């Protein structure tokens, strides 16, 4: 089952629905072997019946023995709200091998939505942004929400540049209930600017996770000779020698990642670097951990 | 310098490929997209220049590789003289055959050969060979004059027979490794008898030039010799007039009619002298009878009195062994008295008193020691007393011989004593009314030997076989077969001894063989073969081989083997004596041999009498032979060898070697500069 979490395998699946189901089912099947995590169908408590409760959840066996009406509650029914902020700027279309960063981000978001709605019965919403908000789907548990979210992800094609200020302002205006906010981006911006814009999400009690999606070539670029590089967002060109990518570039990208991680932690946010060759279960595991902590 | 395939020069056009790739084609760099340039810095000039420099080295190597390949295919050559190209090899062949003992032939040939060796250019290689009996290669092709001279001077006149076909074969073998010109200088009396039957066997390879140095010029020297001797190898009764006699044939080569005195010499004493008229270029027969010799081995000779031009061949030697008649054990069934009668009568007639047959019923053999008999005959006695059968086994392994005759009793006792097999079946031809005949006879077998067998299969086709046992030949040699393919006479080696098996009886019931005249000769040959008397004495020719031990016996199991040559030396070392299967008689004279089976023998060895014919090859034949060599120009004895033939020497191989080196360098440079760079940790 683990091989279905491999991004290269997932790149061959065209349907986001099927992809998300494959990832989550595979992930859940893995969880059953792990004592560390529970999931939504885990029994939590009995609660006395009150008028208006759904009769489907009444434990009729208990009623037959005690003539008392109790509802059986599960952990998954302690509802939460998940909002994914997906960076769909031009830089996300970079790829050295399938999948591209935007596709990886889509898979990740789709898997999170499926896990949240189908397994956890959480409300889930989506904000697709670049330099402005391009798509907003309000968090909900209504039937068809998953399909709407997948459609939103399908339409999230990369364009323009990244600007974290506008989408986060929109997020502030739209959210009225605390929940989990997940920002998926390559974060090609100064760490202090990123953290300064995102830190405000924490003010309403939201749990914030930053998933930085990078291609392996962006972390350890391999150049055979000098080459002309084109910035996908600004279209600027410069000639670069391989010696530079082996030394100074690596130092800089490592420093950037480390700075982003430390600043995010300092601001009370979780940060994870995801390389497009990594399986998706790390992100799902992080989501479940954070959700359990919030219960 | 030139090219053997100049049209391949057109291939130089392919040099345009690296020129285009490295110099004409613009270096186009396709821009590579990246997510952001925020971590990149510009850096261009120095790296590009560095790369261009590397690529020029690669370009030079690639262009050189293509150029060399084109040159190699065009096959360049340089013109050099043939002598300079590979060096001339002088093959100095000195004839040391028996005929070279005549007059001063060998000394003359040696003197001329030494002179030819001195005349050789110091840088030319030379090889020394001796042509007598087997061609002897004394040195490798070398330039060391002292070593060559020493090898040449070490050659002594021998007793062998020269063969020009052996020389030609050796030169052909040498030419396979020496591709340069070879001068074959033959110092010989150019004896006519050394020429093979087929002139084509004397043809030399293309790069060999034959230079003849004949040492026997002029008319043929008259020479008388004892051509052959017919004498008993084994003699038991000197008074037997039919057997106790020596017949010698005196022959003259290029001789007029003459009266010659011929003597019989035994152990150094002249026993008899005869005068004989030898016709011109003819033969005369001399008889000496009776041959009165003492017990044991007698060294005999027949000599022609009066010296001629070649006295070395006036005497012919042979050995005669005088002994008491040997006993032959004839074991038969108690009810069979016919076999012994027929066999004994034939043996007495054939061997003339050399053997005494001791006939014995098989029940009486319990205490008999077979080692006291020359050989043993088991006549239709499938079941032997176990004590006697166990005594026969070591007897045969040590060299004893047994004749096994299978009669009608063989079918009732399937296992054949000593043989190691069984009677598989019996064929009773009498029931069908058609007696079987002997269809195949191996006349090379000692028991069936006939020099010129007649059309009736040497008399064997008249024999009617009515009953025969079927024996699986397996490892045995089949000497005769019946018309239906059933083996009739088989021979098998067991240790040092032999087992001879006759698949039909001798009682004149199962066949009518005892009634035929050839039965006497057959029994006589069997007796000589099984008693081993043929190899124990007599005479032989130089270069003949003697079998010292049985081929099937593991080497080293029997060590009592000794050879003493005519000079009294032991030519075999201890290790050779343990391992040698055969021995070549290379010298004339008496050899004393103790065989592996413990028997002693004295063999008189004479040179091949064809060497006594001193007639030389006619001049036209000599010229024809020299003309058959490489340059087809007949060479005389003092032919100058200073003709420098110009020949092209191809450089293809060297060019390809350089191209290979260039290819390796190109691979190294290309993999170093253009391969995937290893990522630093």
pLDDT of residue A291: 61
Side-chain half-sphere of B21: how many Cα atoms within 13 Å?
12
Q: How many Å is the Cα radius of gyration of chain B?
A: 38
Q: Which residue has the tokens 């997948």?
A: A150
Chain A nearest-CA distance from B19, in A, is 21
Query: Which band of pLDDT confidence, cut at 50, 70 and 90, is reported for residue B614?
Result: confident
Query: Which band of pLDDT confidence, cut at 50, 70 and 90, is reported for residue B677?
Result: very low
Please enumerate in sequence order all residues whose Cβ is within 8 A of that of A35, keeping only pairs 6 or more positions apart, or say none: none
Q: Which residues of B touch A218 (CB under 8 A)?
A: 34-35
Instruction: Determine the Cα–Cα distance for residues A159 and A140; give it in Å rounded to an integer.
Output: 27
Q: Which residues of B touch A235 (CB under 8 A)?
A: none
pLDDT of residue B93: 92
Minimal CA–CA distance to B486: which of B475, B500, B472?
Answer: B472
Between the alpha carbon of residue B447 and those of residues A24, B359, B403, B444, B513, the distances in Å are 100, 21, 11, 8, 15
pLDDT of residue B511: 92
Q: Cβ–Cβ contacts within 10 Å for residue A16, how many?
A: 22
pLDDT of residue B28: 59
Are A188 and B32 within 8 A, CB to CB?
A: no
CB nearest to B39's CB, from A215, A236, A256: A256
Q: Which residues of B touch A256 (CB under 8 A)?
A: 39
pLDDT of residue B445: 87
- Three-state DSSP class for A85? strand
Judged against a pLDDT cut of 80, whether residue B549 lies above it is answered with no
How many degrees, rounded to 5, is the angle at CA B534 between CA B350 and CA B497? Answer: 105
CB nearest to A227's CB, from B29, B37, B679: B29
Instruction: Determine the Cα–Cα distance for residues B493 and B572; give it in Å rounded to an integer.
Output: 25
Average model confidence (pLDDT) across chain B:
83
Are B676 and A224 within 8 A, CB to CB?
A: yes
Q: What is the 3-state secondary structure (H, E, C) of B53-117?
A: HHHHHHHHHHHHHHHHHHHHHHCEEEEEEHHHHHCCEEEEEEECCHHHHCCCHHHHHHHHHHHHH
Instruction: Determine the Cα–Cα distance for residues B54 and B74; give it in Å rounded to an integer.
Output: 31
Instruction: Determine the Cα–Cα distance for residues B422 and B431; give it in Å rounded to an integer.
Output: 23
pLDDT of residue B202: 86
Instruction: Determine the Cα–Cα distance for residues A174 and A151; give it in Å rounded to an integer.
Output: 20
Q: Which residues of A touch B50 (CB under 8 A)?
A: none
Q: What percent of chain A has pLDDT over 90?
A: 6
ipTM of the complex in this document = 0.75
Q: Are residues A123 and A77 in contact, defined by beta-carbon separation less than 8 angstroms?
A: no
Instruction: Determine the Cα–Cα distance for residues B555 and B71; give it in Å rounded to an integer.
Output: 60
Structure tokens belonging to residue A264: 């995010």
Task: Tell me the per-residue pLDDT of A80-98, one tens digit each, with 9 for 90 and over.
Answer: 788 898 998 888 888 888 8
Looking at residues B351-359, what average pLDDT do you find?
Answer: 81
The pTM of this model reads: 0.52
DSSP state of B39: T
Instruction: Determine the Cα–Cα distance for residues B112 and B617; give it in Å rounded to an integer.
Output: 19
Judged against a pLDDT cut of 90, whether residue B263 lies above it is answered with yes
Judged against a pLDDT cut of 70, whether residue B86 lies above it is answered with no
Structure tokens belonging to residue B60: 């030079």
| pLDDT mean values, one per 10 residues, chain A (295 residues) | 52 63 64 41 71 82 88 63 88 86 89 80 86 85 85 84 77 73 89 84 78 89 80 84 82 91 87 84 71 54
Instruction: Determine the Cα–Cα distance for residues B234 and B319; give it in Å rounded to an integer.
Output: 9
| Burial bucket for residue A131 (CB in 10 Å: 0-12, 13-18, 19+) | middle
Instruction: Determine the Cα–Cα distance for residues B124 and B82; give it in Å rounded to an integer.
Output: 12
CB nearest to A244's CB, from B43, B676, B679: B43
More confident residue, B364 or B453: B364
Edge-to-edge strand list for the sheet holding B234-235: B234-235, B315-322, B296-304, B258-266, B269-278
Minimal CA–CA distance to B129: which of B164, B83, B101, B86?
Answer: B164
Instruction: Determine the Cα–Cα distance for residues B302 and B273; give it in Å rounded to an integer.
Output: 9
Query: Which band of pLDDT confidence, cut at 50, 70 and 90, is reported for residue B488?
Result: very high
């Amino acid at each position: 089952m683990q091989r279905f979490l491999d991004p290269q395998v997932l790149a061959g699946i065209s349907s986001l629905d099927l992809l998300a189901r494959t990832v989550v089912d595979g992930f859940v099947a893995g969880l059953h072997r792990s004592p560390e995590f529970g999931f939504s169908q885990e029994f939590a408590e009995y609660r006395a019946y009150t008028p208006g409760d759904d009769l489907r959840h009444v434990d009729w066996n208990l009623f037959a023995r005690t003539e008392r009406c109790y509802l059986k509650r599960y952990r998954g029914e302690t509802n939460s709200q998940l909002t994914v902020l997906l960076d769909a700027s031009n830089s996300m279309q970079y790829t050295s091998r399938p999948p591209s960063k935007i596709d990886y981000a889509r898979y990740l978001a789709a898997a999170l939505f499926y896990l949240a709605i189908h397994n956890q019965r959480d409300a889930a919403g989506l904000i697709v942004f670049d330099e402005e908000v391009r798509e907003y789907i309000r968090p909900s548990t209504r039937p068809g929400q998953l399909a709407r979210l997948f459609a939103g992800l399908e339409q999230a094609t990369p364009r323009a540049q990244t600007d974290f200020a506008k989408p986060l302002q929109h997020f502030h205006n739209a959210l009225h209930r605390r929940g989990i906010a997940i920002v998926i981006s390559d974060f090609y911006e100064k760490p202090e600017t990123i953290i300064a814009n995102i830190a405000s999400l924490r003010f309403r009690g939201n749990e914030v996770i930053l998933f930085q999606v990078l291609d392996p070539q962006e972390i350890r670029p391999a150049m055979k000779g000098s080459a002309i590089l084109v910035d996908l967002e600004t279209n600027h060109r410069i000639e670069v020698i391989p010696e530079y990518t082996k030394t100074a570039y690596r130092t800089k990208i490592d420093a950037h990642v480390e700075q982003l991680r430390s600043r995010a932690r300092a601001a009370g946010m979780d940060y994870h670097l995801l390389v497009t060759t990594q399986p998706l279960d790390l992100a799902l595991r992080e989501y479940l951990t954070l959700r359990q902590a919030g219960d | 310098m030139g090219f053997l395939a100049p049209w391949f020069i057109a291939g130089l056009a392919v040099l345009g490929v690296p020129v285009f790739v490295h110099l004409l084609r613009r270096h186009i760099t396709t821009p590579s997209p990246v997510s952001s340039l925020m971590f990149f810095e510009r850096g261009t000039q120095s790296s590009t220049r560095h790369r261009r420099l590397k690529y020029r080295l690669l370009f030079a190597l690639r262009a050189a590789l293509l150029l060399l390949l084109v040159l190699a295919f065009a096959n360049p050559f340089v013109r050099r003289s043939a002598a300079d190209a590979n060096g001339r090899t002088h093959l100095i062949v000195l004839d040391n055959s028996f005929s070279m003992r005549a007059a001063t032939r060998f000394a003359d040939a040696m003197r001329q050969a030494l002179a030819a060796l001195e005349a050789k250019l110091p840088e030319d290689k030379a090889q020394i060979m001796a042509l007598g009996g087997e061609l002897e290669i004394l040195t490798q092709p070398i330039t060391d004059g002292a070593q060559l001279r020493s090898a040449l001077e070490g050659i002594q006149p021998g007793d062998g027979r020269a063969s020009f076909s052996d020389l030609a074969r050796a030169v052909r073998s040498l030419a396979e490794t020496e591709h340069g010109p070879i001068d074959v200088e033959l110092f010989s009396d150019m004896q006519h008898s050394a020429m093979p039957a087929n002139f084509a066997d004397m043809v030399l390879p293309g790069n060999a030039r034959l230079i003849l140095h004949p040492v026997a010029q002029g008319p043929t020297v008259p020479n008388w010799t004892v051509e052959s001797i017919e004498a008993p190898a084994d003699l038991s009764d000197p008074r037997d007039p039919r057997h106790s006699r020596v017949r010698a044939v005196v022959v003259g080569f290029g001789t007029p009619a003459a009266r010659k005195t011929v003597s019989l010499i035994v152990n150094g004493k002249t026993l008899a002298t005869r005068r004989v008229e030898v016709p011109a270029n003819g033969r005369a027969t001399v008889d000496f009878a009776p041959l009165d010799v003492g017990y044991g081995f007698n060294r005999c000779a027949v000599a022609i009195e009066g010296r001629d031009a070649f006295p070395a061949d006036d005497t012919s030697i042979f050995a005669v062994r005088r002994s008491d008649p040997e006993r032959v054990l004839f074991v038969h069934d108690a009810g069979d008295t016919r076999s012994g009668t027929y066999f004994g009568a034939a043996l007495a007639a054939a061997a003339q008193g050399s053997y005494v047959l001791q006939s014995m019923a098989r029940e009486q053999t319990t205490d008999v020691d077979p080692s006291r008999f020359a050989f043993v005959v088991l006549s239709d006695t499938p079941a032997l007393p176990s004590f006697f059968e166990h005594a026969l086994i070591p007897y045969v392994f040590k060299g004893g011989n047994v004749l096994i005759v299978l009669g009608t009793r063989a079918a009732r006792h399937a296992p054949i004593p000593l043989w190691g097999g069984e009677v598989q079946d019996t064929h009773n031809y009498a029931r069908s009314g058609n007696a079987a005949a002997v269809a195949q006879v191996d006349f090379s077998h000692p028991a069936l030997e006939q020099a010129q067998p007649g059309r009736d299969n040497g008399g064997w086709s008249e024999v009617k076989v009515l009953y025969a046992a079927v024996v699986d030949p397996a490892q045995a040699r089949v000497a005769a077969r019946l018309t239906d393919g059933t083996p009739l006479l088989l021979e098998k080696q067991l240790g040092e001894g032999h087992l001879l098996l006759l698949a039909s009886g001798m009682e004149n019931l199962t066949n009518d063989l005892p009634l035929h005249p050839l039965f006497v000769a057959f029994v006589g040959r069997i007796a000589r073969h099984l008693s081993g008397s043929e190899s124990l004495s007599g005479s032989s020719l130089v270069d003949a081989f003697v079998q010292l031990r049985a081929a099937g016996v593991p080497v080293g199991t029997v060590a009592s083997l000794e050879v003493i040559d005519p000079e009294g030396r032991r030519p075999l070392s201890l290790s050779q004596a343990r391992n040698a299967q055969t021995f070549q008689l290379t010298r004339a004279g008496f050899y004393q041999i103790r065989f592996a089976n413990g028997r002693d023998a004295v063999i008189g060895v004479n040179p091949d009498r064809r060497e006594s014919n001193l007639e030389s090859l006619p001049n036209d034949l000599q010229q024809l032979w020299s003309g058959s060599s490489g340059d087809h120009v007949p060479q005389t004895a003092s032919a100058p060898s200073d003709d420098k033939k110009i020949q092209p020497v191809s450089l293809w191989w060297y060019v390809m070697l350089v191209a290979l080196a260039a290819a390796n360098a190109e691979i190294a440079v290309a993999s170093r500069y253009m391969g995937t760079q290893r990522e630093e940790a």
